[in-house]
Structure 1
């Protein structure tokens, strides 16, 4: 049994707990929030008695072994480092941190304290992602990659009314690239490694973050294009184009409806059954790493987090997106 505490009392924490609760070795035993009211309200949904409003007490508690972190991005490094120094294994939401400097410090802390640290990118643990990876040879040499994830934020209407919520605040290290673009870039890095060159463009909002953007990742034999947005929706699928055919993915983050369309027009459905509670797979992999004594997950490796953050940093430099966290 791996006992968990959670930081963050929002919808994504609910989804993680829902998925992880299907794992026999998962047990939720602690909840942290800045306010006692929110901590107790969230804990009561899962019949948890132990709540915390003091981060030091939470990090040093002996009531749990691992921590799932879903606080604002700007706090990821601080929260992860404090928990790891308290001897806790950490699975931290994407993006891993605000910048590469913070990611490096997190990894060094995991090494120094001999604990497991993993970025909570679910896509790369999905069965259909493995199907895509295993099918690349079928389409021949890859020549183009187009990843599309555009999702109109439920908070954008408030923004247009003059109310800037967390999703559009640079002081929280947020914006389209960090919140949505990472879902495109991390799997690209996992499939093909670090790109040789990165170009980026964006529509910048007055609050100081990007509302939507595009990243071009140049590889020796192909070009990867990532399109992402928090101010528009898109119905277009994602596509990996090879000389012999293309892999079509309806929803890239969840890897749904995956098929190959060969050059002659024939189609092959390569999708396999996977759970609707998609965060089950990342939770299961993390728990296995903890139980096996692996400091670094074999899929969401530290190097992939480093290379992904390096791309994010390069893209931010291209579009002029600066966070207060960069000046620490």
Structure 2
């Protein structure tokens, strides 16, 4: 059994715990929160035996083998590095860090301490994405990738009333690109590697984070277009266009219904729904890495995470999106 400590007491963590309990080898041991009241409340809700309000104490605990981090992105590096230096494996929510400098520090800590570090981009491990990867060669030479993730945020209603919640605060390294755009970019990098050039534009809110945006990524033989938003909705599916056929994916963040339309008129369905909770797949992959003595995933590899983060950095640079975490990096 791998005994988990939890950092982050929100709805994402609730979903993770529910899903992870489906996976053999998962055990829930501890939760960390900045306040004792919140730690005890969350522990009682999920039947967690240990609570901590000191991160270093949880990292040092002999009752904890691994840590799941779902705190705001701006806290990921400090929390992950502290846990890995104490010998804990880390499963960290996407995006894994605020910028490439932070992510590299996390990867370095994992390698130096010989522990697993995995970015929890859940879609990579789903059967639907595996079906996409398996069927990609049947499309012939790929010419275009389009993906969209536009989901109106319930917290935007508060923003419009003048109340700024964490989802729109740059000090937490948030915004549409980091929260939603990354779901479009991660599969792009996994399938086609890093682009040769990027053009990005977006709508900045008064707080300095983006409400929506778009990216055009150019490759030698293809082009990719990504759109994302937290201030409007879209139901447009993703497409991968090849010279021999076009693949349609219902949702790039949760690929379930997938069809290929070939030039000769044939239509092939390659849908692959999940068996069990969505987040159970990433948990199983994480536990398998530990069990097999591997330090990183072949799918959500350190190199893929770095390539994604590099693209995010460049897109933010072009749009003028600056996080306090970037200033810390620039000052050393």
Same fold (TM over 0.5): yes
Once residues 92 and 316 of structure 2 are traced to their aligned partners in structure 1, the CA distance between those partners, rounded to angstroms, is: 21
Deviation string 1:219-248 (CA, Å, 9 cap, x unpaired) is 111001111000000011111011111111
Q: Is the Cα contact below 8 Å between 2:244 and 2:263 reproduced in 1? A: yes
Residues paired across the two proteins, number: 328
Q: 1:211-230, aligned counterparts within 5 Å?
A: 211-230=211-230
Instruction: Tell me the secondary structure at the aligned position of residue 130 of structure 1.
Output: helix
1:35 pairs with 2:53: no
Q: CA deviation at 1:275?
A: 2.9
TM-score normalised per structure 1: 0.98
Greater mean deviation of Cα atoms: 183-192 or 45-54: 45-54
The equivalent of 1:200 in structure 2 is 200
SS in 1 for 2:216: strand
Q: Do the aligned partners of 2:65 and 2:89 also contact (CA within 8 Å) in 1?
A: yes
What are the superposed Cα offsets for residues 182-218 of structure 1, whole Å, 9 maximum, x if unpaired?
1110111001111111110001101110000001111
Q: Is the 8 A contact 2:58 2:64 kept in 1?
A: no
- In the TM superposition, 1:293-308 aligns within 5 A as 293-308=293-308
DSSP 3-state at the match of 1:155: helix
Which residue pairs with 1:281 in the alignment? Answer: 281
Confirm whether residue 171 of structure 1 aligns to residue 171 of structure 2: yes
- Say yes or no: does 1:60 pair with 2:57: no
Cα distance in 1 between the residues matched to 2:140 and 2:160: 46
TM-score (norm: length of structure 2): 0.97
CA distance in 1 between counterparts of 2:98 and 2:308 reads 12
The residue that corresponds to 2:112 in the other structure is: 112
Aligned to 2:98: 98
Rounded Cα–Cα distance in structure 1 between residues aligned with 2:194 and 2:65: 33
Find the counterpart in structure 2 of residue 187 from structure 1: 187
Q: For 1:41-80, what aligned pairs fall within 5 Å after superposition?
A: 41-80=41-80
Which structure 2 segments of 5+ residues have no match?
A: none
Pairwise CA distance, 1:276 = 5.2
8 Å CA contact 2:69, 2:80 repeated in 1: yes
CA-to-aligned-CA distance 1:20-79 (integer Å, 9 cap, x gap): 111110001101111111111111122112011111111111111000000000000000
SS in 1 for 2:221: coil
2:232 corresponds to = 232
Which residue does the alignment assign to 2:125? Answer: 125
Cα deviation, 1:233-276, whole Å, max 9, x if unaligned, reads 00111110111111111111010211111223331110123135
* Structure 1 residue runs of 4 or more that deviate by more than 3 Å after TM superposition: none
Task: Work out the CA distance in 2 between the residues paired with 1:264 and 1:127.
Answer: 27
Q: For residue 246 of structure 2, what is the aligned residue in structure 1?
A: 246
SS where residue 186 of structure 1 aligns?
Answer: helix
User: 1:8 maps to what in 2?
Assistant: 8
